[in-house]
Amino acid sequence: MIRRVITLVAGLAAMPALAAEGFRFASIDGGEIDLDEWRGKPVLVVNTASLCGYAGQFDALQALHERFGDRALILAVPSDDFNQELADEAAVKEYCTLTFDLTLPMTEITHVKGKDAHPFYAWLRDKTGFVPGWNFNKVLIAPDGSIAGTFGAPVKPEGPQIAGRIEAMLE
């Protein structure tokens, strides 16, 4: 048991820090979302898809955005890598605004896996082996830039694994 705990602690200590310089996403509203501007704050990056069965999680992501305000970044990254996103950014923006009253930051439709993956996701894959296996996979970056966790679609944003960790990071 002690050996497992030591291995777990060593593994967590070895998690790579986020080299946020250069990780910019094209915003669905125009301009850029620069992760470097959020240095020192928690960042939750979620690959999303409007037509996915997990799209109900948009409500929870919006609630986190409202709850944490400018103390944490909740970033939706629409992707059609799993063939469940609308045809273009205008359709995504309209759907998410009308259906979920979404105001949280969103990127343009972005690749999250494969050879065309956004540099953030390519870096994440290269450093940790994590590649989104479906829509609504989540990556939590701690204020110190370390990767606090990666989560699959079933993990609810409002639960203790994500919202609870963000709250603890802000204390």
The pLDDT profile of the chain, 171 residues, written as one tens digit per residue, is 444 333 333 343 444 454 444 699 999 999 999 999 999 999 999 999 999 999 999 999 999 999 999 999 999 999 999 999 999 999 999 999 999 999 999 999 999 999 999 999 999 999 899 999 999 999 999 999 889 999 999 999 999 999 999 999 999
Is 52 in the active site?
yes
User: What is the reported pLDDT for 22?
Assistant: 60
CB 47 within 8 A of CB 77: yes
Catalytic residue among 18, 43, 46, 52: 52
CB 25 within 8 A of CB 33: yes
Distance CA 22, CA 1 (A): 41
User: What is the reported pLDDT for 16?
Assistant: 46
Look at residues 73, 78, 72 and name the one whose alpha carbon lies nearest to residue 96: 78
User: What is the reported pLDDT for 47?
Assistant: 98
Domains annotated for the chain, with CATH where assigned, are 17-170 (3.40.30.10)
Residue located via tokens 């946020």: 20
| Cα 42–Cα 44–Cα 46 angle in degrees, nearest 5 | 175
